[in-house]
Amino acid sequence: MDNFFSTRHSVRVFDNRPVSRKVIEEILKAAIHAPTTGNMQLYSVIVTDDVDGKSKLAAQHFNQPAAVNASAIITFCADYNRFEKWCLAREAKPGFNNFQSFVAAMLDATIVAQQFSVIAEMVGIGTCILGTTTYNANEIGELLSLPSRVVPVLSLAIGYMRDDEPDSPTERLPVDAVLHYGKYSDYNDNDIDRLYAEKENLPENVEFVKENGKKSLAQVFTDVRYPKSNNEIFSTKFIEYIIKQGYNL
Amino acid sequence: MDNFFSTRHSVRVFDNRPVSRKVIEEILKAAIHAPTTGNMQLYSVIVTDDVDGKSKLAAQHFNQPAAVNASAIITFCADYNRFEKWCLAREAKPGFNNFQSFVAAMLDATIVAQQFSVIAEMVGIGTCILGTTTYNANEIGELLSLPSRVVPVLSLAIGYMRDDEPDSPTERLPVDAVLHYGKYSDYNDNDIDRLYAEKENLPENVEFVKENGKKSLAQVFTDVRYPKSNNEIFSTKFIEYIIKQGYNL
């Protein structure tokens, strides 16, 4: 079991058997027992498994391989719409048009997505999170006809794992890089050197730096993968969409 | 396995054996293989297991039973501090002082927390999410000495399950309440009646409405548990703290 979690990794190329709706529903039936704020289940799960729908969605995820190859793209949304409709139908005055409510719904959606992912992996279905969901939340919201108070926060590309899917995990920092006892103990230059040494010296990362013509792996992240200008554009876009969907910020 | 996930539930009263640091570390070692944005691991995990630290933290969680009874309280933080320190040490110019970066780190922290929770449950450790973390993030941040770019988003109260911990899950809405294919299909009054009927008719919920002197279960949520005025106060507080910690909003 330990080994199951320690060797898991995201899957971006899938076997071509489709994952049936019945299987998706069974996984979700188990996953909804994941924790949720006040048992309100502040999320909705939208499954896109038709060719046309997938290709339109994949475009909003910059046609990254996992999205293009997926048997289904599942979009997990922060959702106060259903709960609020219930309140209004029961003479209860909802007060959820605010940031704290959005955050609760975002936590709920993220948690159920991760639970879905774990259960899927246990039955041989690979998954890859599409972190681009919050970049193009408005375009995705339009494709999926999301009403007010519903905001996509995370998507999973899913498909059966290939028989020859390697059992090797992606490298991570040593556990003491992220673990603190009692208080946060901040990092000095020596800590940083020590904690990032293994990652920086991995042959594939050394190669990655060379390919990108950069001086360090960190520069690939700041200049190529997550440049400040992009982060700022997508921040403004996402904030505007959250407000449009009815959460004051 | 399916049964494992379908019968899980949050645990708020624990056996009194303490969960050792060794066990926590082993669980976290496996959990850090959960998905993370661009393999950046944008989170930190702070374990509070001393009596004084726990009691101070529990107070910020309104002394809810799970927090008071826990063997340890584990605070999961969105963290760009470590990654940024690495960038600065490698002549890379970070551009992470924005909302989209905060969101990525919040997703990372939430996902690793949920993975931690699943693995803990598999070895007989019960967990309860303390959703109050974002209410008092600033006070919690002060107790834990969090530097700039570190924001607590979710905490787990943990402890060994008692031998007589019931195997019964908390009720959830029928799966079709949260599942959509292709597009979001919005709910009409009949849908709401049908989807919430079972929940509203549960004897403990009927009793809960009566105890609170309300006309409907929904009113308990809007008037008692999550009133608009509280949501707004805690929204303002959290937004101010996110900005204070170095993420523009």
CA pair distance A216, B88, nearest whole angstrom = 11
What residues does A180 pair with on adjacent strands?
A: B46
| Residue type present at position B222 | T
Instruction: Tell me, yes or no, if A134 comes closer than 8 A to chain B by beta carbon.
Output: yes
Q: CA angle, corner B37, sides to A7 and A214, nearest 5?
A: 105
Task: Spell out which residues of chain B touch residue A30, defining contact as CB-CB under 8 Å.
Answer: 2, 5-6
Q: What mean pLDDT, rounded, does chain B reach?
A: 97
Instruction: Tell me, yes or no, if A2 comes closer than 8 A to chain B by beta carbon.
Output: yes
Average pLDDT over residues B101-121: 98
* B146 pLDDT tier (thresholds 50, 70, 90): very high
Q: CA angle, corner A218, sides to A215 and A220, nearest 5?
A: 70
| Residue type present at position B247 | Y
Contact B160, B19 (CB under 8 A): yes
Instruction: Tell me, yes or no, if B104 comes closer than 8 A to chain A by beta carbon.
Output: yes
B197 CA: distance to closest CA in chain A (Å): 11
Name the 3-class secondary structure at B185.
coil
Model confidence pLDDT, tens digit, residues A71-87: 999 999 999 999 999 99
CA pair distance A82, B150, nearest whole angstrom = 32
Nearest CA in chain A to B231: A100
Average pLDDT over residues A199-220: 97
ipTM of the complex as predicted: 0.98
| Residue type present at position A161 | M
Q: What is the pLDDT of residue A99?
A: 98
Q: What is the pLDDT of residue A169?
A: 84
Scanning B56-75 for CB atoms below 8 A from A yields none
Contact partners, residue B175, CB within 8 Å, separation at least 6? A25, A28, A29, A32
Q: What is the pLDDT of residue A3?
A: 86
Q: What is the pLDDT of residue B168?
A: 80
CB nearest to B103's CB, from A25, A50, A134: A134
CA pair distance B79, B100, nearest whole angstrom = 13
Q: What is the pLDDT of residue B166?
A: 84
* For residue B169, pLDDT beyond 90: no
A33 CA: distance to closest CA in chain B (Å): 6
CA pair distance B179, B182, nearest whole angstrom = 10
Contact B137, B71 (CB under 8 A): no
Contact partners, residue B190, CB within 8 Å, separation at least 6? none
Instruction: Tell me, yes or no, if A51 comes closer than 8 A to chain B by beta carbon.
Output: no
Q: What mean pLDDT, rounded, does chain A reach?
A: 97
Instruction: Tell me, yes or no, if B222 comes closer than 8 A to chain A by beta carbon.
Output: yes
The token pair at A24 is 């998706």
Cβ <8 Å between B184 and A118:
no
Does the model's pTM come out above 0.95?
Answer: yes
Model confidence pLDDT, tens digit, residues A108-141: 999 999 999 999 999 999 999 999 999 999 999 9
Contact A91, B217 (CB under 8 A): no
Share of chain A above pLDDT 70, in %: 99
Q: What is the pLDDT of residue B2?
A: 66
Model confidence pLDDT, tens digit, residues B45-101: 999 999 999 999 999 999 999 999 999 999 999 999 999 999 999 999 999 999 999
Nearest CA in chain B to A49: B182
Cβ <8 Å between A172 and B122:
no
* A211 pLDDT tier (thresholds 50, 70, 90): very high
Contact partners, residue B214, CB within 8 Å, separation at least 6? B220, B223, B224
Q: CA angle, corner B134, sides to A240 and A237, nearest 5?
A: 15
Selected residue of A1, A41, A56, A180 to mutate for chain B interface (largest B Cβ count, 10 A): A180
Nearest CA in chain A to B36: A129
Which of B237, B245, B228 lies closest to B60, judged by CA? B237
Q: What is the pLDDT of residue B73?
A: 98
Q: Give the dihedral sign, CA B27/B29/B30/B32.
A: positive
Q: What is the pLDDT of residue B246?
A: 98
Cβ <8 Å between A131 and B37:
yes
CA pair distance A74, A116, nearest whole angstrom = 10
Average pLDDT over residues A24-43: 98
Q: What is the pLDDT of residue B3?
A: 86
Model confidence pLDDT, tens digit, residues B90-103: 999 999 999 999 99
* A166 pLDDT tier (thresholds 50, 70, 90): confident
* For residue B1, pLDDT beyond 80: no
Average pLDDT over residues A54-58: 98
Cβ <8 Å between B183 and A117:
no
Model confidence pLDDT, tens digit, residues B3-43: 899 999 999 999 989 999 999 999 999 999 999 999 999 99
Average pLDDT over residues A53-66: 98
Contact B181, A145 (CB under 8 A): no
Burial class, A55, CB count within 10 angstroms (exposed 0-12 / middle 13-18 / buried 19+): middle
- Entry field: residues in chain B: 249
Average pLDDT over residues A202-218: 96
Give the C-alpha distances (Å, rounded to integers) separating A134 from A65, A131, A191, A227, B74.
18, 7, 32, 16, 27
Instruction: Tell me, yes or no, if B32 comes closer than 8 A to chain A by beta carbon.
Output: yes
- Pairing assessment for the beta strands B150-160 and A150-160 based on DSSP bridges: unpaired
Q: What is the pLDDT of residue A193?
A: 98
Average pLDDT over residues B187-201: 98
Q: What is the pLDDT of residue A129?
A: 98
Contact A247, B239 (CB under 8 A): no
Distance of CA A166 to the CA centre of its chain: 22
Share of chain B above pLDDT 70, in %: 99
* For residue B131, pLDDT beyond 60: yes
CA pair distance A131, B35, nearest whole angstrom = 10
Tokens 């409907």, residue located: B216
Contact B214, B224 (CB under 8 A): yes
- Pairing assessment for the beta strands A72-79 and A150-160 based on DSSP bridges: antiparallel
Instruction: Tell me, yes or no, if B245 comes closer than 8 A to chain A by beta carbon.
Output: no
Tokens 């994952």, residue located: A19
Task: Spell out which residues of chain B touch residue A132, defining contact as CB-CB under 8 Å.
Answer: none
